[in-house]
Structure 1
């Protein structure tokens, strides 16, 4: 009842109602685009990649657009990759670092990120064409698989790249006129759309004989999957709200007959300050070598180093789990270094007369904040790594018995839950803030 009451309050506010409506409209446009295939395309669905864990995940993020070879096949991944590159360059190049601190400079960097996303989209479109050309039996009405056709090449590359540009525009529009972060909302919508397929697979596991033969064992497995799924949701919500609070005391100031200051507050250090970004960054980095292999053609994709890359990117080895986990750990600390500046925090405290009890202002305070941040980041990084590799580890264990959980394992896994919960909580907080501004009770009251 409380949830319904809050929703009713949200729709009573004209501005908020308009924002929610625009968000839903733009998401519907995204979903419609996921079902529009490249013009003239015939039997080109990448069914041979169904067993590849990495491409499975890409397909889920794009809402099924990748495997259907729709105009949105690339999803939002070129933009994510461009963001990674720009963030790395911002840390490495002082000129960009200086621009990042200026509002106009940030706008310019955002524009460069868009250009880089289009360039990467163009490159990935070329790679995807060669991948489809090697996998499909018939490309379209004008060409057959395995034979290069300039018309088909241009048609597909332009379509895929344009699809990426449209998705960027949709994401920015959601952020501008809707609720929540646009890019996150598009990813959220893509994952949610894969939910019914996962639920049907879970139903088939129990009713249709499943993958374990005996029905009562399949019911046990299905119940275990649901229980683990709910447990992961609880763990993610708990970790998302987890933080260490460093106490801060402000010195008293006497001005005339009045005393100012003397308040006690705290510096919140979140356990998972980076959210799901390290996982997406790691996925994007692992995706890149696999897409390059598409250039060499299907016949050579199982030979030599290309064969190793192709096999490794499938996500069906313990080596993949190790590399994936290490990348997540690295990106989590990278995010912490880029976006959390203990020296700046210490200087601001000193300027405003604040101090941490038992520590001198300045360098000692900065060192303490830095050490505290690193310690808590370790917990967040390990938590993210465990969540991310959990579905792959379960699949590897099942493969010992020649079993495949398929999309069930992926959709009910930790990464999916983290994205869903993270985006949902952020959206709820934004709606909450809008309601509180107008003296309505929110979700979190």
Structure 2
């Protein structure tokens, strides 16, 4: 039997959207905020030679800077005021989440509801400032070591660079919060999404141009497109997949009335860790290549280090094995951080709920952990397949497969979340319309 919300969702139509004035305003605000973000990625950092920096960036584009450039919508390649992007905030959020399971004071804050969440968000902002300032200073020093990149090196350039780049990150953090509260939600995710998608048209055009000139055969391009469509369908299926545990609530008596016990479900996502394992794994594997690029220009790279960097290059067997292993490790590690079976079991026990056939308390926690571990195995294998497949295509065909595993996961996941947010606003609009109609009918009868 479908619920009332599911019945309303099935009846959504264009006429429902046309009546949702609040949703239209939220969509327009979101589009305007994303436009401001895209404009900021084209405002260059003061005191540098853009052409000289573009030439220097080409030698590092295959390292970790390439990932930052993808997430920032090309701002790193142009060294714009939004070059740091939102990554310091993402890093600070992950660090704070990890610390909540290690530091007892933060763990207690997490359990204090809304007030505790506000304090944790404040600590995340402080962490963003610290990480952003360190990264901005590192960028300033790195640019000064380049040939002709900085017009007037010195402390004035370093300080102005730190202030500008850190200010850009803090503005994007504020902009993401505004999109979340005044737009359609998922502000930070939408900013990353906009940065990735912005370069997609030029990447597709470049691939088609290679096909036109004969550098790539038409068959390979068709195969790549079909593989991308299949990968998107696979991501949609696995990201929406859940293992639902049946929860039974006992009968309860209120006054002289006896209420029948209710049943509900505890949904466990197949991929609880999301895209974090792919981001962590790719960042760690690209770190040696980035360090080698900085030190190799000075001739200080030993032979053994050169061999390791070559073995960890894209498409190499060692790179594939290490990438798969790190994704699997972080899938289990991050799932253990964000989901605590003991807390879930305690909350069920307090509410009087139990899993049929399982004793409440410790036995329930063990059973939830048992189920979660097994579905995480499937989720980790799915992440490994989605992330390794583009690497194999790049190695075997040489096609510039722009939407790799990490970026493809982010784009599809954010799209699903955004569609769900819009659908939620439309359902709320339908509910409001039904309430108004019932009030009008009640007034006429009266």
Q: What band does the TM-score fall into relative to the shorter chain?
A: 0.7 to 0.9
Which of 148, 167, 175 does residue 172 from structure 2 map onto? 167
Other-structure match for 2:33: 26
Match of 1:189 in 2: 194
1:410 equivalent in alignment to 2:389: no
Is 2:168 aligned against 1:149? Answer: no
The equivalent of 1:72 in structure 2 is: 82
Q: Give 5+ residue unaligned stretches, structure 1.
A: 213-217, 399-403
Partner Cα separation in structure 2 for residue 11 and residue 29 of structure 1: 26
The residue aligned with 1:424 is 415
Contact 1:134 1:297 in 2 (8 A): no
> 1:124 pairs with 126, 135, 139, which one?
135
Partner deviation per Cα, 1:183-238 (whole Å, 9 max, x = no partner) = 1001100111011111112211210222x4xxxxx100000010001001110111
Cα RMSD (Å): 2.9
Query: Structure 2 CA distance, aligned partners of 1:82 and 1:58?
Result: 15
- Using the TM superposition, give the Cα deviation of residue 53 of structure 1 relative to its aligned residue in structure 2, in angstroms: 5.4
Aligned to 2:342: 343
Write the deviation string for residues 274-318 of structure 1: whole angstroms up to 9, x where unpaired: 222332333445566666667758314644677578657764543
Change (3 A) 1:321 1:72: farther
TM-score, structure 2 as length reference: 0.85
Count of matched residue positions in the alignment of Structure 1 and Structure 2: 419
Q: TM-score, normalised by structure 1?
A: 0.85
User: Do residues 88 (structure 1) and 79 (structure 2) align?
Assistant: no
Is 1:294–1:301's contact at 8 Å kept on the other side of the alignment? no
CA distance in 1, matches of 2:35, 2:305: 39
Please state how far the C-alpha of 1:54 moved relative to its aligned partner.
Answer: 3.8
Q: Report what 2:110 is aligned to.
A: 100
Q: 1:326 to 1:180 in 2, by over 3 A?
A: farther
Q: CA offsets per residue over residues 154-194 of structure 1, 9 Å max, x none? A: 33333222222222121122112111211100110011101
Q: Is 1:158 paired with 2:157?
A: no
Cross-structure match for 2:262:
263
Shift in CA distance, 440/309, structure 1 to aligned 2, threshold 3 Å: farther
2:184 is the alignment partner of 1:179: yes
The Cα of 1:242 is off from its aligned counterpart by 0.8
* Residue 219 (structure 1) aligns with: 218
What is the SS of the residue equivalent to 1:322? helix
Deviation per CA, 1:29-80: give whole Å up to 9, x if none. Answer: 1100111111243221144236515433322211111111111112211111
CA distance in 1, matches of 2:162, 2:313: 24
Cα distance in 2 between the residues matched to 1:190 and 1:29 = 12
Q: 1 CA distance for matches of 2:100 and 2:197? A: 33
CA–CA distance in structure 1, aligned partners of residues 95 and 235 of structure 2: 28
Alpha carbons 1:175, 1:181 under 8 Å: kept: yes
Q: Counterpart in 2 of 1:215? A: none
Structure 2 residue 72 is matched with structure 1 residue 62: yes
C-alpha contact (below 8 Å) 1:388/1:414 kept by paired residues: yes
In 2, distance between residues paired with 1:131 and 1:391?
A: 31
Alpha-carbon offset, residue 106 of structure 1: 2.3
CA contact (8 A) 2:64 2:290 kept: no
Contact 2:327 2:383 in 1 (8 A): yes
Which is further off, 290-299 or 316-325? 290-299
Distance in 2 between residues matched to 1:157 and 1:384, nearest whole Å: 36
Paired residue secondary structure (1:354):
coil
Q: Is the 8 A contact 1:300 1:306 kept in 2?
A: no
* C-alpha distance in structure 2 between counterparts of 1:74 and 1:225, whole Å: 31
C-alpha distance in 2, partners of 1:41/1:249? 65
- 1:342 and 1:369 in contact (8 A); partners too: yes
Partner of 2:124: 113
Q: Is the 8 A contact 2:64 2:287 kept in 1?
A: no
Q: Distance in 1 between matches of 2:77 and 2:405?
A: 22
Structure 2: distance between partners of 1:36 and 1:309: 38
Cα 1:352–1:380 shift into 2, 3 Å: same
